Amino acid sequence: MNDYIFKMNLDKNEYDQFVKSHPLCNLLQSPKWAEVKENWKNEILGVYQGDRLVGGASVLIKQLPLNFTMIYIPRGPILDYKNLEILKFFFSHLKKWAKTKRCLFIKMDPGIIYRDFYLEDTVRKIEPNVENEINNLKKIGCIHLGFTTSLSDTIQPRYHAAVKKKDNYLDSLPKHTKRHIKTAKKKNIMVDFYGIEKIHEFSRLMKLTEDRKHISLRNEEYFKHIMNIFKEDCKLFLAQLDLKKLIEDSKKRYVQLEENIQKCKEGQEGKKENFIKERDSIQKDLYNLEKYYKTDGAHPYIASALCIYYGNTCEMLYMGMDGKYQKFHGAYLTHIAPIQYAQENNIEWCNMGGLEGTLDGGLTKFKSNFNPDILEYVGEFDFPINKLLYKPAKKAYEMLKKRNSSD
């Protein structure tokens, strides 16, 4: 029997370093992420072997009616799920601790990958040891909620698109993606990363995205809150269009095409027709560009990404875009730039966010442009604490979740 020791109220810096260096490293287990979730209480629990931290969890505590609580462990606990002994020890003490909080049940979604594959793979193999890890969780009393596919079924998506560090990443991109990137650069779009000084521009693009997609996201105060917590680890990538130069170049091309049309001789009708089509297209574009110039200025920001770099991972949390500039493909650059930054800084994974498990929606189609791995997690588990009240509490939770999703 190993001499394990269970401890509460771990030092945040110690736990943070432990998570960052662990194979299951995930931003959602960062103590700073718990600061983001202001409407939950937080405690950090751990297992030591001697004086070495070998497992732990940053737990979020939600107050319920009648002084009961529900506990959530996002992408945790962080420990070796193949080791049944440490699981038994940690969860037995976790249960005793949870009872002191009048907890009804603990919900968790461990960072265990069930399958890692490319969209084009016809064979999608289950990861080694994963079935053993799931069985170990069941042996200690956890209830697996199944291999769900809908984003609404779980708190965290089961399926994510993530780019793994690889040599010559840009060479691996599909041809059409390379073409869109080339188009964006040809349109004088440049991407750089910033801190909180550009939060207003980022929030403006997020609001435009909300309006275009008819969805509700977050406001500027929330984005500020994240950036104030993560500081230099949180970066805003913004794509800026040199609209003034684009208008000047378009005007020069228009004049050149007029000259080309005039120079066309008899028998060059096809060539002349092509010149006329391009000229008319540029004329139409110029009308819009000059209109945008009046409202947006000479150098508008047209696409954005908010990313947090944590341990060996990057989380691309929020992406925004001004829809009227969509055909310039600035969003391709604000997806590529965080990935390139990660690759250049030896960061193993760049997570582009969740997908529907059917892998046939618009999100999947767009993110497939960046040649990602599809990471399928094992999903959620419940760990009942109050066995008598678990089932009615679970039913109430599901009804509340369904009601909130329909609001």
Same-domain check for residues 336 and 398: no
Close Cβ partners of 195 (under 8 Å, ≥ 6 residues apart): 227, 231, 232, 234, 235, 236
Low-confidence ranges of the chain (pLDDT < 70): 1, 402-407
Same-domain check for residues 259 and 274: yes
In-domain check, residue 30: yes
pLDDT of residue 228: 97
Residue 212: which CATH number?
3.40.630.30
The span from the CA of 313 to the CA of 342, in Å, is 8
Instruction: Say how many C-beta atoms besides its own lie within 10 A of residue 187's C-beta.
Output: 19
Same-domain check for residues 238 and 251: no
Same-domain check for residues 12 and 22: yes
Same-domain check for residues 368 and 384: no
Instruction: Say how many C-beta atoms besides its own lie within 10 A of residue 239's C-beta.
Output: 28
- Give the range of the structural domain holding residue 258, as residue numbers without chain letter: 244-296
Same-domain check for residues 234 and 194: yes
In-domain check, residue 187: yes
Sheet-wide strand order for 69-74:
4-7, 41-49, 52-63, 69-74, 103-109, 381-384, 143-144
Name the nearest CA neighbour of 70 among 114, 111, 104, 28. Answer: 104
Instruction: Say how many C-beta atoms besides its own lie within 10 A of residue 117's C-beta.
Output: 14
Same-domain check for residues 45 and 107: yes
Maximum Cα–Cα distance across the chain? 95
In-domain check, residue 116: no
Query: Structure pTM?
Result: 0.93
Number of domains in the chain: 3
- Give the angle 313-314-315 at the CA atoms, nearest 5°: 120
Close Cβ partners of 60 (under 8 Å, ≥ 6 residues apart): 34, 37, 40, 41, 42, 71, 72, 73, 74
- 339 in Cβ contact with 169 (< 8 Å): yes
Same-domain check for residues 264 and 226: no
Rounded to 5 degrees, φ, ψ at 356 are: -65, 140
- 33 in Cβ contact with 15 (< 8 Å): no
Same-domain check for residues 269 and 326: no
- 165 in Cβ contact with 347 (< 8 Å): yes
Amino acid in the structure at residue 254: Y
Last residue of a domain, one of 296, 317, 340: 296
Same-domain check for residues 305 and 370: yes
In-domain check, residue 156: no
- Give the angle 27-154-236 at the CA atoms, nearest 5°: 35
In-domain check, residue 177: yes
The span from the CA of 210 to the CA of 216, in Å, is 6
Same-domain check for residues 255 and 285: yes
Strand partners, 143: 382
pLDDT of residue 405: 53
Q: How far is CA 113 from CA 127, 180, 214, 326, 373, in A?
A: 7, 32, 32, 34, 12
- The radius of gyration of the chain from alpha carbons, rounded to an integer in Å, stands at 26
Name the nearest CA neighbour of 33 among 311, 257, 277. Answer: 311
pLDDT of residue 103: 96
Would the CA dihedral through 16, 236, 350, 34 be positive or negative? positive
Alpha helices, H only, 22-108: 31-36, 84-100
Close Cβ partners of 28 (under 8 Å, ≥ 6 residues apart): 74, 75, 76, 156
